[in-house]
């Protein structure tokens, strides 16, 4: 991995790319073969914050993976166990963390910074530490454990450039409409899960209402998955697997347009 001095001007990512950080972003934690400062016993609060940020504030994800040059084996693909991940761990070395200080300064660090602090007692600059801890507190412990967050019927573009209208991507404390569970709707959604699923991944999301992992896997055995359902007008609907649990256990009522689209789609499958 490229080495940069702490608080030097960021230049790793192409400035013409849309994922580039704001101008005058500063580097933190881009280490080489030696620590840039005197080792310091790691603060558990900072370590926990960095592991959380490696999920909640993860940016500029790459396909490759960097190893730690401070470790004798320089292993690539370092994983850190955490209860805040749907899969029980977070991968370090293939993305960056980006946080903003109270003075507006933006800091960019490789996700490996969590390993550097925990394993090698690297001491980041104080201003970055303050920004990182504050950002982690703002994200909260459930940020990566529940699908979303996306506003109900809100439209967003994913990293592949595809636009979706989101339904059922609730977060803890988010209000939602309720009604008696509709068994016909649940059956229709289950039928669509075999024909319209758009991604699947290992691990299990928490329910954003009861914060339990007791959500059964989808028909293929995945606890994290989604379906994409075309609609007559506008971006297609994008729905997480947790919608079944929300309807049956918490009386969640999806928007009427989505329900009508589900029934129309399952009718065409018969």
Question: How many domains would you assign to the chain?
Answer: 2
Overall pTM surpassing 0.85 (yes/no)? no
**Listed ranges 3-17, 155-169, 188-202, 238-252; the one with the highest mean pLDDT:** 238-252
pLDDT one-digit tens code per residue, 218-262: 777 666 788 899 998 899 999 988 898 899 999 999 999 999 999
Instruction: Please check the confidence at residue 270 and state whether its pLDDT lies above 50.
Output: no
CA distances from 45 to 51, 123, 142, 160, 205 (A): 10, 13, 17, 34, 24
Domain end among 88, 105, 139: 139
Q: Give yes or no: residues 99 and 195 share one domain.
A: no
The rounded distance, in Å, linking the Cα atoms of 76 and 89 is 15
CA distances from 118 to 22, 34, 123, 183, 236 (A): 28, 15, 10, 49, 43
- What pLDDT score does 31 carry? 93
Average pLDDT, the chain: 86
Domain end among 84, 107, 139: 139
Contact 107, 114 (CB under 8 A): no
Contact 241, 224 (CB under 8 A): yes
**Domain encompassing residue 94:** 26-139
pLDDT one-digit tens code per residue, 97-156: 999 999 999 999 999 999 999 999 999 999 999 999 999 998 877 766 666 678 899 998
Instruction: Please check the confidence at residue 45 and state whether its pLDDT lies above 80.
Output: yes
């Amino acid at each position: 991995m490229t080495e940069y001095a702490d608080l030097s001007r960021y230049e790793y990512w192409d400035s013409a790319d849309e994922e580039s950080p704001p101008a005058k972003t500063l580097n933190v934690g881009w280490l080489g073969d030696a620590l840039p400062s005197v080792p310091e016993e790691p603060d558990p609060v900072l370590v926990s914050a960095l592991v959380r940020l490696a999920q909640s504030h993860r940016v500029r994800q790459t396909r490759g993976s960097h190893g730690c040059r401070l470790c004798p084996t320089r292993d690539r693909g370092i994983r850190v166990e955490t209860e805040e991940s749907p899969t029980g761990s977070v991968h370090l070395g293939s993305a960056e963390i980006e946080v903003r200080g109270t003075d507006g300064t933006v800091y960019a660090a490789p996700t490996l910074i969590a390993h550097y602090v925990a394993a090698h007692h690297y001491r980041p600059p104080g201003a970055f530490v303050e920004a990182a801890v504050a950002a982690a507190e703002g994200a909260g412990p459930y940020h990566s454990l529940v699908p979303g967050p996306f506003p109900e019927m809100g439209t967003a573009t994913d990293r592949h450039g595809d636009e979706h209208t989101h339904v059922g991507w609730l977060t803890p404390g988010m209000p939602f409409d309720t009604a008696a569970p509709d068994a016909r709707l649940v059956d229709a959604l289950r039928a669509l899960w075999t024909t319209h699923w758009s991604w699947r991944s290992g691990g299990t999301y928490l329910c954003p209402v009861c914060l339990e992992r007791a959500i059964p896997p989808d028909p293929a055995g995945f606890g994290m998955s989604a379906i994409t359902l075309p609609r007559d007008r506008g971006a297609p609907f994008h729905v997480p697997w947790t919608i079944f649990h929300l309807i049956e256990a918490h009386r969640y009522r999806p928007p009427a347009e989505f329900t009508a689209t589900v029934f129309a789609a399952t009718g065409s499958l018969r």
